[in-house]
Structure 1
C-alpha cells in the first residue's frame, strides 16, 4: 500500500515538475542577450490592416490613430464592425477606415469577423494581412517591421503583445500584468533564442495573403489565435516572434471585465490542451515536426496561477504522506518543484519586470492564485465554450 501511494504521489509530483522545467528553461534562455533586430531591406510589402471590432466605440478611434500614420499609398485599413449595437462603425469611418458591418446572432466570435474581413479583402488582395485588435495601440514602425519580417521569412509573424495595468490599478491587476509579461514576452523570447516558434497571441499578427486565405478562420473557439498558430505550424508554417514590433492594450479595471476575460482565456486554453494536446504531440513525433512539438510543449505549460496551485496541492499532499507514513521521495520532488518555480518567477521578474512591477506584487501572487480557484473549479463543473467579449470599463 505504501509503495503504491509513493508511486502515485511521485508520478503526480513529476507531472507538475515537467511544466515547471519547461518554464525555467524558457526563462533562462530569455535572459541570454537578445539578438539585434535585422535591418529592413527593400520596399515595404503592400499591407491590409484588419481590425475586428465588437462594440468598441470607446477605443476604436484611439487604436486607428496609431495605425493610420504607418500606412502608405496602396495599403488598406479595414474595420469589421461585428454584431455591433453602438457607434463603432460610425467612429471608425470618421477616423478614416474602410468599414464593413456584419450581423449574425448565431455565428459569434472574433474568428467569424476575421473570416468576413479576409473575404472582403479578396476583391483587392494585399501581400500581407495584419490583424490588430480594436483596443490596441501599435508602436511606431511596427507595421513596417511585421510586413517585412512576414515576407522575408515566409512565415506568420507575431509581434510583442503586452497588456498593462491601468494607473491606480490594484494588486490583482498588477499580478495579472506580470503573468502576461511572462507568457507573452519571457516565454516566447526564450523559445525564439532556441530557434523555436511562438504561439499566436491574438493581436499584432502578420500573415501572407496565401497563408491567411488557406487558414480556417471561421470559428468561435475561445482561443482561436492559439489554435490557428498550431494549425499553421502543423502545415509547415510555424509562427515567428518579432519583439521589435509591439502592440499594447490595457486590462479592464472592472471586476466583471477582468473575470470574463480570464474565464475566456483560461477555459479556452485548458480546453484546447485537453482536446488536442495529446494528439498534437503524437502527430509531431510521428511526422518529425519539431517546431510543432515545441509549440505543443509550450501549450502544455498552464497559466502561472494554476501551475502554482497545482504545485502547492502536491507539496501539501507529499509532505503529509511523509509525516504520516514516512514516504520521502514525492516530498523531495515536490520541494524541488517549489524551488524551481520560485527561481523561474524571481528571475523573470528581476530581468523583465522589476522596473515596472514592485517586488511586493509578487508577495500577493499566492493570494491572487487562491482567488482563481473558483475559475478552475468552473472549468471542471461548467466550462465556458462560447466566445464572450470582455466587458470594457465604460459599457
Structure 2
C-alpha cells in the first residue's frame, strides 16, 4: 500500500471514531430546527407548585428573583415561593421575606452545596406532611428572572405525564459585554438546541440546575441524592439511569446574570463546571452502558453524550479532521477516480453540514439576533482563556461565584 493509502486509512479510522459525535450534532440540530417550540397550554391550571430558590449570600439579586417568581401568570393559591437561606452571612433571608417569600434558614457549614440544601428542604417538607400536598417542586437559582409563563408550561407537561422537566436556561445580561454575548450563544446551543433536539428524538434532556421541575411522585421513585460540584448534572444521570425521561420545554425561560468579564470568579466557576462534569462522565460511562433499565437506543446515545468533549474542543477537533480529510483525498495521484478519496470528501462534507447546521440552529430555533454572528470572532480569545484556567488544580469543594455587581 502506498503512503497516500496508509494516510487515507488512518484518517478514515479517525472519521469512524468521530462519526457518533457528528451524527449527534446533526440529528439534534435538525430535530430542533424542524420541531414546534410551542407548548400547548391548558385552560385551567391544576398543579400545586413550590418554587424553591437556594440562596447563599445573595442579597444583590434575591429581591428581583423572588419578584419574578411571585409574578407568575398562575393562580396565586396554587403556588408559593420559598427561599432556602443556606449558610448565609448577609441579610438574604430578610430581603427575601420582605419581598413576600417564605424563608427557611439552614446553618450547616460542613454541607454547603445546593444539593445538600435541596435534600434538607425535601426532608423538612416530608416530615411536615406538606410534601404530599404538592404536585411539584421548581428549582430557580438566586440570580435569575423566570418567564411569567413558566408554571403554566410546567403544568401542561406534568399533565401530559412528565415527572422531570427542564426549561430553557439562558443569559439575562446578554448584551453587557462580548463575553456575555458569547455565553448567550453557547447557552442557546448547550442549554437549548441540544436538549430540545434530544427530547424530540425520543431521548432524555439533561438537567441544567436552573429552571428544573420535579414532581413529588417522581421524587418518591427517585429521591434527591446529589451533592457534588455539579449536582444538577449528577442528578440528571441518577434519574436517567433509573429508566426515566426528562422533558424539555423550549418556550419557557429562566435567565441568569452572568459575569461580564473573566477573572478569578469566572475561572473558579468554569473550573467547577469542567472538573465536575468530567468526573461524572468518567465514573458513569460503563455503568450507563450496562444499565438495563435504560433502552438500548438511550444507552448508546447516553454513551456518546458522556464521551462528548466540551463543545469548544469538539468543534475544533472536527474542523481539524475535515482539513485532514481534504489533505488525504488530494494525496492520491488521481483523487477524482479513487474510491477512498470520495469517502474522505464525503465525510468532510458530512462534518461541515453537521457543524454548520448546529452552529446556525440557535438563530432558527431561539430567534437569536443575527448580530451575534459577529461575536463568534471572540471564540479564539475565549478558547485561550479556557486553556489557561484548566491548568489550575481540581476544586475540592463548592465555592460561591461572586456576582458582577459585587465585584
Deviation, structure 1 residue 20: 2.7
Deviation, structure 1 residue 137: 0.8
Q: Is the 8 A contact 1:23 1:301 kept in 2?
A: no
1:266 to 271, 274, 281: 274
Q: For 1:334 and 1:384, how far apart are their aligned partners in 2?
A: 39
Deviation, structure 1 residue 322: 9.0
Q: For residues 228-307 of structure 1, what are the structure 2 equivalents within 5 Å?
A: 228-256=235-263, 257-283=265-291, 288=295, 290-291=297-298, 293-307=300-314
Q: Is the 8 A contact 2:15 2:347 kept in 1?
A: yes
Q: Secondary structure at the match of 1:201?
A: coil
Paired residue total: 390
Q: Is the 8 A contact 2:163 2:217 kept in 1?
A: no
* 1:104 pairs with 2:76: no
Q: Secondary structure at the match of 2:291?
A: helix
State the partner residue of 2:154: 146
Q: Secondary structure at the match of 1:393?
A: coil
Residues 317 and 280 of structure 1: is their aligned pair in 2 closer, same or farther, counting only changes over 3 Å?
same
Q: Is the 8 A contact 2:185 2:372 kept in 1?
A: no
2:164 to 156, 159, 164: 156
State the partner residue of 1:76: 80
Q: For 2:374 and 2:241, how far apart are their aligned partners in 1?
A: 42
* 1:181 pairs with 2:188: yes
Q: Is the 8 A contact 1:158 1:200 kept in 2?
A: yes
Deviation, structure 1 residue 220: 2.7
* 1:113 pairs with 2:121: no
1:365 to 379, 385, 405: 379
Q: For residues 1-395 of structure 1, what are the structure 2 equivalents within 5 Å?
A: 10-34=12-36, 36-70=38-72, 72-73=76-77, 75-122=79-126, 123=128, 124-125=130-131, 126-170=134-178, 172-256=179-263, 257-283=265-291, 288=295, 290-291=297-298, 293-311=300-318, 314=321, 335-336=348-349, 339-340=352-353, 342-351=355-364, 352=366, 354-355=368-369, 357-378=371-392, 382-395=393-406
Deviation, structure 1 residue 156: 0.9
Residues 18 and 58 of structure 1: is their aligned pair in 2 closer, same or farther, counting only changes over 3 Å?
same
Q: For 1:20 and 1:317, how far apart are their aligned partners in 2?
A: 16
Deviation, structure 1 residue 106: 2.0
Q: For 1:74 and 1:31, how far apart are their aligned partners in 2?
A: 34
Deviates more, 1:353-362 or 1:122-131: 353-362
Deviations 1:56-93 (A, max 9, x none): 11011100001113362253322111121111111111
Q: Which runs of 4+ in 1 moved over 4 A?
A: 1-10, 312-326, 328-338
Residues 193 and 102 of structure 1: is their aligned pair in 2 closer, same or farther, counting only changes over 3 Å?
same
What are structure 1's unaligned runs of at least 5 residues? none
Q: For 1:68 and 1:186, how far apart are their aligned partners in 2?
A: 28
Q: For 2:137 and 2:368, how far apart are their aligned partners in 1?
A: 35
Deviation, structure 1 residue 293: 4.4
Residues 278 and 367 of structure 1: is their aligned pair in 2 closer, same or farther, counting only changes over 3 Å?
farther
Q: Is the 8 A contact 1:111 1:220 kept in 2?
A: yes
Deviations 1:120-174 (A, max 9, x none): 222112121111111111111211321342243142111121124443312x332
Q: Secondary structure at the match of 1:202?
A: coil
Deviations 1:328-361 (A, max 9, x none): 8797688457624541344225424551643211
The TM-score normalised by the length of structure 2 is: 0.83
Q: For 2:24 and 2:152, how far apart are their aligned partners in 1?
A: 33
Residues 96 and 148 of structure 1: is their aligned pair in 2 closer, same or farther, counting only changes over 3 Å?
same
Deviation, structure 1 residue 316: 7.1
**Aligned-residue RMSD, C-alpha:** 3.2
Q: Is the 8 A contact 2:32 2:197 kept in 1?
A: yes
What are structure 2's unaligned runs of at least 5 residues? 334-339
